[in-house]
Amino acid sequence: MELSLSRIRKSYNNGKTYAVDDVTVTFTPGVYGLLGPNGAGKSTLMNIITQNLKPDSGIVALDGVPIDRMGADYRSMLGYMPQQQTLYDDFTGERFLWYMAALKGLDKRQARVVIDHTLEVVNLRQERHKKLRSYSGGMKQRILIAQALLNDPKLLILDEPTAGLDPKERIRIRNFISEVSKDKIVLLSTHVVSDVEFISKEILVMRSGQIKTKGTPQSLLDSMNGRVFEVLVTPEEQCACEGAGYKLSNIMLTQDRICLRIVSDIRPQNGQVREVYPNLEDVYLYLAD
């Protein structure tokens, strides 16, 4: 299975602003992490893939067939979790999943099995009979993930799936996404680098509507060699570093000095400097800022 996007563009304000600008990329089964700041175009790109938005130009194709020709056959392969938590407050969690299962065309016997399983996966079995209005933000995220999984989709689109989840639930959902990705294309948009650092076959960094770079986590880390430094400074030297316009990924107070983690093409000149191994937060800061 292969999902290909060719020269996708989407503009607003009568063509003055491009939310997605000439994006060409190909996805095969596995997890793809989509990173980028607010306004980078991540959600717009996902809405184009799910046919919630029509691009101004370009083609989205599944195995070489444009998706606008596939109609219901394409939509039956989709599982989509939107970023917005638009839910029916008077529904219980279980009733909401039954409703979504009916929309997806599942028969009752199949739906019963799948709903029980997905409630277990997202850790909502005990809350299945509570009304959605009583759910916390994290619980609403989990029920949205559950509905996306009901039809065992071949293409799973997750927009900020771990927003509002505590660390334990974030790890649980992240591990599950990794498990189900063996025969699915999973596109996961997030601001949390750790959500995609260990499970993605490829990470795409998006800014201003364009994919600025993409690659395996290791290749992105390798590209940052010689660009990340830890610098021990005095308060006066810290002011000099900040005034020089360096990108600071971390500031830590030590017993007598301040340790700055700096991302820069140029080796800092102030303080006690040592080059350190990069992490994906350094990559994100370097590319997306």
User: What length does the chain have?
Assistant: 289
**Boundary residue ending a domain (221, 242, 259):** 221
Co-location of 274 and 205 in the same domain: no
CATH of the domain at 251: 3.30.70
Answer whether residue 191 shows pLDDT above 80.
Answer: no
Which residue did the predictor score with more confidence, 277 or 254?
277
pLDDT at 66: 94
**Dihedral sign, Cα of residue 43, residue 46, residue 48, residue 53:** negative
Domain total of the chain = 2
Which residue did the predictor score with more confidence, 87 or 23?
23
Co-location of 78 and 129 in the same domain: yes
pLDDT at 85: 65
**Dihedral sign, Cα of residue 210, residue 216, residue 220, residue 221:** positive
Backbone angles phi, psi at 156, to 5 degrees: -115, 120
Co-location of 260 and 150 in the same domain: no
Co-location of 23 and 118 in the same domain: yes
Co-location of 165 and 265 in the same domain: no
Co-location of 258 and 195 in the same domain: no
Co-location of 254 and 205 in the same domain: no
Structure confidence by residue, pLDDT tens digits, 211-262: 998 999 999 999 999 999 999 988 888 888 777 778 888 888 877 789 999 9
**Boundary residue ending a domain (221, 246, 269):** 221
Co-location of 247 and 135 in the same domain: no
Contact 6, 24 (CB under 8 A): yes
User: What's 269's DSSP letter?
Assistant: -
* 21: Cβ contacts below 8 Å, ≥ 6 apart: 9, 41, 208, 209, 210
pLDDT at 114: 93
Answer whether residue 16 shows pLDDT above 70.
Answer: yes
User: What's 14's DSSP letter?
Assistant: T
Co-location of 7 and 117 in the same domain: yes
Q: Is 253 helix (H, G, I), strand (E, B) or coil?
A: strand
Q: For the chain, what is the mean pLDDT?
A: 88
**Boundary residue ending a domain (185, 204, 221):** 221
Contact 61, 1 (CB under 8 A): no
Co-location of 32 and 173 in the same domain: yes
Co-location of 249 and 273 in the same domain: yes
Q: How far is CA 13 from the centre of its chain?
A: 26
Co-location of 60 and 103 in the same domain: yes
* Helix/strand/coil percent split, the chain, to 5: 35, 30, 35
Domain extent, residue 9, equals 3-221
